[in-house]
């Protein structure tokens, strides 16, 4: 399977394919054509075929795709087959919501520890996840398998935390702090910038926005 040189735009569509295929499999649908898939997903059928061709293509032209097999291959491409250990930094509102969001465990994504500087919550646990003192995070990462750090601290602290966890060896950051982290090239990051998202919505709300 060829995975090189996949554009960011294609990558962003992969979870959407996976999501629709999961829903279809759960609904008992066994086969789907790229045309039917394109109608369901409001995407162009030729774009779907092009996207799939980035990964060598799936199924035969004119026969449609086997939903179950395509979903499995998509899960494989997305890297959902293997388990991931994540640590959470910042066990406040957003951090606790992330821990409690049950949707995550399904994909082999485990939050193994949380870290905070608030003495009131250090030593407690949130939905089974122990909360440790932030000063211990460097040791923790060096002594345990940690694939991902979730940063849910105030934005003023986020860069410092990113520096600590990446120096300790973490190569992957899910960043909820509203700040653009400066990271080495070998570190990957996905941002969830809630206030940016809200501001885009307010722009569209106030400007009588119509999609181009």
Minimum CB–partner distance for residue 29 and its own copies (Å): 17
Asked if 196 is part of the footprint of its own copies (rule: CB under 8 A), the reply reads: yes
DSSP label of 165: H
Question: Looking at 16-24, 31-39, 63-71, 111-119, which segment touches its own copies (CB under 8 A)?
Answer: 16-24
Minimum CB–partner distance for residue 61 and its own copies (Å): 26
78 CB-side CA count, 13 A: 20
For residue 109, the tally of other CB atoms under 10 A from its CB is 16
DSSP label of 200: H
Q: Which of 72, 80, 121, 183 is close enough to bind its own copies by CB under 8 A?
A: 80
Decide: helix, strand or coil at residue 57.
Answer: coil
Asked if 178 is part of the footprint of its own copies (rule: CB under 8 A), the reply reads: yes
Q: 61, 83, 65: which is closest to 21 by C-alpha?
A: 65
Asked if 44 is part of the footprint of its own copies (rule: CB under 8 A), the reply reads: no
153 and 90 Cβ atoms separated by less than 8 Å: yes
**CA dist list (Å): 66 to 40, 60, 91, 114:** 16, 10, 42, 40
**Which is closer to its own copies, CB of 46 or CB of 199?**
199
Asked if 120 is part of the footprint of its own copies (rule: CB under 8 A), the reply reads: no
Binding site for its own copies (CB under 8 A): 3, 5, 7-8, 11-12, 14-16, 18-19, 41-42, 77-80, 82, 84, 93-94, 96-98, 100-101, 103-104, 107, 109, 147-148, 171-172, 174, 178, 180, 185, 188-190, 192-207, 209-212
């Amino acid at each position: 399977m060829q995975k090189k040189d996949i554009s960011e735009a294609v990558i962003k569509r992969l979870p959407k394919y996976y999501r629709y295929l999961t829903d279809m499999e759960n609904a008992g649908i066994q086969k789907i054509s790229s045309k039917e898939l394109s109608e369901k997903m409001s995407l162009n059928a030729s774009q779907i075929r092009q996207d799939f061709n980035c990964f060598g293509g799936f199924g035969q032209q004119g026969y449609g795709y086997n939903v179950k097999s395509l979903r499995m291959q998509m899960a494989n491409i997305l890297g959902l087959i293997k388990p991931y250990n994540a640590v959470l930094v910042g066990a406040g509102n957003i951090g606790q919501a992330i821990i409690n969001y049950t949707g995550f465990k399904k994909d082999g994504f485990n939050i193994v520890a949380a870290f905070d500087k608030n003495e009131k919550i250090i030593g407690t646990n949130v939905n089974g996840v122990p909360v440790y003192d932030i000063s211990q995070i460097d040791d923790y990462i060096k002594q345990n398998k940690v694939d991902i750090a979730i940063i849910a601290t105030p934005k003023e602290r986020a860069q410092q935390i990113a520096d600590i966890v990446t120096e300790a060896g973490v190569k992957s950051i899910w960043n909820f702090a509203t700040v653009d982290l400066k990271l080495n090239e070998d570190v990957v990051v996905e941002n969830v910038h809630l206030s940016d998202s809200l501001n885009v919505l307010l722009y569209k709300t106030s400007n009588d926005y119509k999609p181009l």
